[in-house]
Chains A and B, each alone.
Chain A
Amino acid sequence: MHRTLPAILFVLVALTPGRAAAQEPRLAGRLPDQTRRDVEALLDSARTAGLPTEPLVDRALEGATKHAPGERIVAAVRRLAADLAASRDAFGAGVSDAEIAAGASALRAGARADDLARLREIRSDQPVTVAAAVLTDLVALGVPPDTATAAVLALAERAKDSEYLAFRRNIERDVALGATPVAALEFQMQSAANLFDAGPGRAAGAANRPRKP
């Protein structure tokens, strides 16, 4: 529901007739005319809503490079715009474009808007870009979204961005060794807890070092 409402609102705004869409020069020559007009209407709606438009342009250009059909490109841009809106609403005011984009990826991966809001609340004094991206990574690695979200939130209070990245890297390594993503996550959560108990200074250094199997 929390994701649905911003999406509906965004679509309604985007479909409002008579809107004069601003021209995005990078789309010229890359998209069919109708597709370009549809995308520019979405960009215009995003600007009106105060959303970052760069990710939307990038998504349209990505579709063009991959020779995707026009309707598929428009649908992808529209979905992303709705996710950006949901991400921005979840994170609240004062959030950067990079954070909004990372939050949108996490939502697309299966995180809930409430989880993003909780993440912002816990890490109120630092950017949430990396934490949200790691959440997305964990889901992509095969960790169920609920489990991944719980892990990222559990680390949110004490983990630095570098420790989040090391955490994610170690899980990927364990998965490569044969552990399932959930088991790897559990190990790394346990390791992280031990490191944090040992002190923040040790946690930062140790989390980046290779460990024994």
Chain B
Amino acid sequence: MTFTWSLAWGVPLNAQVSATADIALGAVKYEGFLGSAAVSFTPAVRYDGHFVSAAARGNYLLYESGRSLTQAAGAVAFLTPPSGPLRGEISGYGGLSSYAGGPVSGFGLARARLHVTHGARGIWFGGGLGGSYAAFSDTRASELAAGGWMLVAGMALTVTAAYGRVSDTTLADLSATVRGTWSVIEVDALVGARLWAERAQTGAFGDVAARVWLTSAIAAQVTAGSYLSDPMRTGVAGRYVAAGVRIAPFSHRRAVRALDERLRSQLRLPTAPPDRSLPTLIIEGAGIGAEGITIVAPSADVVEIAADFTDWQPVALTRVGRNRWYLNVVLAPGVYRLNLRLDGGEWTVPRGLTVQDDEFGSRVGLVVIQ
């Protein structure tokens, strides 16, 4: 039900075209929304040649409310001829998205990688630059990544370490995938964790898809997963579970190829958008006005606030729990400007507040006290 996918590189054993169409019924739960049933239709097509790989994929999700999410993505990779164990790759990856028939947002990423292969294993490293357009804001992204893969006991295993920067957020992810085929059963799984992050939360993500091929072209499948928010595609965090069928009129389903779809899609961009990575501000209500501010700030040792109500003097908050900080302050109804500072860093705006140009070359948050 989710749509995190990319194409990067491969060393196809034989040039081929494959196409699949997934139809599923499931349940989704996005952060900040109620759970919902959803129907999805996901067609995909790819071509793997000796020097070029290309793929396109669509995804249409119809929610219980009648609203829908439509996404499309495409990727193309150009490969250099092998030079001993070395092979270079230049690839581009981009997509479009529209929620409930609204205007379209998009993203794109250009990557360069160097692969070193040795038999049934290999490593690679590289980097990428890109950005996204969502609503009225542009976001720039960059990444450095390295990974390895190997074939063992009929399974394809990969490990990827990625350091990414999206806008002013930096993240380091470690993820692993496994794909295996046993008779008519096929399993794809991804597990990952954000091990380190600056101005971002850490966390785990993953998904699994299990298929049973009923005929050479039709499989029953169940999928489930949990993913973090995605800055490039401006998606919120969510969980899903679904069951359905995969129709593959001319794919080669049973061969675990040296570098298959999973192996080509290892570097997921950092998946926490800047606004969700920032500290969260919680106003403690008092009926009228407010009588306290709580900040949820992961990975901080010192949290300071400067605001209209502190005469813009930095005031350190008191730690009241794991990742939680508190300031006892009584606020009358009104609009206040404020900034936060973590560990003596830059003044920033906590999540959930309106961000404005502060006229001093930076940004300030506005909070409305009712």
Q: Which residues of A contact B (CB under 8 A)?
A: 26, 54-55, 57-59, 61-66, 68, 72-73, 75-76, 79, 97-98, 101-102, 105, 108-109, 127, 129-130, 133-134, 136-137, 140-142, 161-162, 165, 172-184, 186-187, 210-213
- Give residues 277-306 of B contacting A (CB, 8 Å): 306
Number of residues from B at the complex interface, CB < 8 A: 57
With both chains docked as a complex, state the minimum distance between the C-beta of B365 and any C-beta of chain A, in angstroms: 10
Query: B32, B34, B98, B313: which has the most chain A beta carbons within 10 Å?
Result: B32
Point out the residues of chain A lying under 8 angstroms from B352, CB to CB: 172
Q: Is B356 an interface residue (CB 8 A)?
A: yes
Per-residue interface assignment for chain B, residues 64 to 91, with 1 indicating a CB less than 8 Å from any chain A CB and 0 otherwise: 1101010000000000000000000000
Q: Which of B100, B276, B333, B347 contacts A98 (CB 8 A)?
A: B333
Point out the residues of chain A lying under 8 angstroms from B229, CB to CB: 176
Contact A181 B136 (CB under 8 A): yes
Contact A212 B335 (CB under 8 A): no
With both chains docked as a complex, state the minimum distance between the C-beta of B86 and any C-beta of chain A, in angstroms: 39
Contact B235 A178 (CB under 8 A): yes
Query: A64, A140, A176: which has the most chain B beta carbons within 10 Å?
Result: A176
* Main secondary structure on B side of the interface with A: loop
Point out the residues of chain A lying under 8 angstroms from B355, CB to CB: 140
Q: Which of B63, B276, B370 contacts A213 (CB 8 A)?
A: B63
Contact A176 B32 (CB under 8 A): yes
> Can you report 23 A-B residue pairs in the complex whose CB atoms are below 8 A from each other?
A58-B337, A62-B306, A62-B358, A65-B347, A66-B361, A68-B361, A72-B359, A72-B360, A98-B332, A102-B335, A102-B368, A140-B354, A140-B355, A140-B356, A142-B136, A165-B368, A177-B69, A178-B234, A178-B235, A183-B103, A210-B33, A212-B34, A212-B63
Q: Which of A97, A136, A174, A177 contacts B354 (CB 8 A)?
A: A136
Q: Which of A62, A133, A180 contacts B135 (CB 8 A)?
A: A180
Q: Which of A58, A97, A175, A210 contacts B312 (CB 8 A)?
A: A58
With CB as the reference atom, state the residue of chain B lying closest to A211: B34
* Main secondary structure on A side of the interface with B: helix
Q: Is B233 an interface residue (CB 8 A)?
A: yes
- Give residues 127-143 of B contacting A (CB, 8 Å): 134-137
Contact B32 A66 (CB under 8 A): no
With CB as the reference atom, state the residue of chain A lying closest to B71: A178
Q: Which residues of B contact A (CB under 8 A)?
A: 28, 30, 32-36, 63-65, 67, 69, 97-103, 105, 134-137, 229, 233-236, 273, 275-276, 306, 308, 311-314, 332-335, 337, 347, 352, 354-356, 358-362, 364, 366, 368, 370
Query: B69, B105, B335: which has the most chain A beta carbons within 10 Å?
Result: B335
Point out the residues of chain A lying under 8 angstroms from B103, CB to CB: 180, 182-183
A-B contact sample (12 more), CB < 8 A, given A65-B313, A175-B234: A26-B311, A54-B308, A62-B308, A98-B333, A98-B335, A173-B33, A180-B102, A183-B102, A183-B103, A210-B33, A212-B63, A213-B33
Point out the residues of chain A lying under 8 angstroms from B30, CB to CB: 177, 213
Across chains A and B, the number of contacting residue pairs, with CB separation under 8 Å, is 163
Known: A165-B368, A182-B102. A65 touches B306 (CB 8 A): yes
Point out the residues of chain B lying under 8 angstroms from A140, CB to CB: 354-356, 366
Q: Which of B35, B337, B359 contacts A79 (CB 8 A)?
A: B359
Point out the residues of chain A lying under 8 angstroms from B36, CB to CB: 212-213
Known: A133-B366, A178-B97, A180-B103. A65 touches B334 (CB 8 A): no
**How far apart are the CA atoms of A104 and B34 in the complex, in Å?**
36
Known: A58-B308, A181-B136. A105 touches B32 (CB 8 A): no
With CB as the reference atom, state the residue of chain B lying closest to A75: B359
Contact A133 B360 (CB under 8 A): no
With both chains docked as a complex, state the minimum distance between the C-beta of A75 and any C-beta of chain B, in angstroms: 8
Known: A140-B354, A177-B99. A105 touches B366 (CB 8 A): yes
With CB as the reference atom, state the residue of chain B lying closest to A162: B370
**How far apart are the CA atoms of A177 and B3 in the complex, in Å?**
13
Contact B359 A165 (CB under 8 A): no
Q: Which of B34, B63, B332, B354 contacts A141 (CB 8 A)?
A: B354
Contact B335 A101 (CB under 8 A): yes
Query: B100, B134, B236: which has the most chain A beta carbons within 10 Å?
Result: B100
Point out the residues of chain A lying under 8 angstroms from B275, CB to CB: 176
Query: A57, A65, A130, A162: which has the most chain B beta carbons within 10 Å?
Result: A65
Query: A133, A179, A210: which has the most chain B beta carbons within 10 Å?
Result: A179
With both chains docked as a complex, state the minimum distance between the C-beta of A180 and any C-beta of chain B, in angstroms: 4
Contact A161 B311 (CB under 8 A): no
**How far apart are the CA atoms of A182 and B103 in the complex, in Å?**
8
